[in-house]
């Protein structure tokens, strides 16, 4: 009788250990370990979708593609460097964060207005005909 009870206890304990290991293996929602990173060559959007002097935010890819001057394209992380909100708008030459009002320049991702103090990290892209792709 005591042997049975002991065996059950062992099985329950190992099940709990497996559950604990599963919970600790990630998926905490932290954007510092993005699982949305695409592979090189991934098509992002048509060139024609990026306005001159402005840009487009790709929320799923967490990337913002800008065209500061005609024919010159740039891309940045769409995650604000202040407290990691997703930027929400590109207007009047800046990429704007809705959370606390930071603004970043479309030309280089630098801070135009805080509270953010660091620029948006640049993302590598290529222009392939009429399509902008990850480099």
Positions that interact with ligand FES (CB under 6 A): 80, 82-83, 85, 97, 99-102, 115-116
Q: Which is nearer to ligand FES, 111 or 132 (CB)?
A: 111
Q: Which is nearer to ligand FES, 47 or 86 (CB)?
A: 86
Question: What is the nearest approach in angstroms of ligand FES to the Cβ of residue 3?
Answer: 59
Beta strands in the chain (DSSP E): 43-46, 55-58, 63-69, 72-77, 89-91, 94-96, 103-105, 111-113, 125-128, 131-134
Report the distance separating Cα 83 and Cα 93, nearest Å: 22
Question: What is the nearest approach in angstroms of ligand FES to the Cβ of residue 37?
Answer: 21
Q: Which is nearer to ligand FES, 87 or 132 (CB)?
A: 87
CB 96 within 8 A of CB 102: yes
Question: What is the nearest approach in angstroms of ligand FES to the Cβ of residue 97?
Answer: 3
Torsion of CA 26, 27, 28, 29, to 10 degrees: 140
Question: What is the nearest approach in angstroms of ligand FES to the Cβ of residue 31?
Answer: 11
Q: Which is nearer to ligand FES, 105 or 134 (CB)?
A: 105
């Amino acid at each position: 009788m005591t042997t049975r009870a002991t065996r059950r206890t062992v099985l329950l304990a190992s099940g709990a250990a497996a559950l604990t290991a599963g919970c600790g293996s990630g998926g905490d929602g932290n954007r510092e370990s993005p699982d949305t990173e695409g592979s090189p060559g991934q098509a992002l959007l048509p060139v024609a979708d990026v306005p001159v002097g402005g840009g487009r935010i790709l929320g799923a890819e967490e990337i913002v593609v800008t065209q500061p001057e005609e024919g010159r394209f740039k891309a940045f992380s769409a995650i604000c460097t202040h407290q990691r909100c997703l930027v929400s708008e590109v207007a009047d030459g800046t990429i704007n964060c809705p959370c606390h009002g930071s603004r970043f320049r479309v030309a280089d991702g630098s801070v135009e207005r805080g509270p953010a103090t660091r620029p948006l990290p640049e993302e590598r892209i290529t222009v392939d005909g009429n399509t902008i792709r990850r480099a």
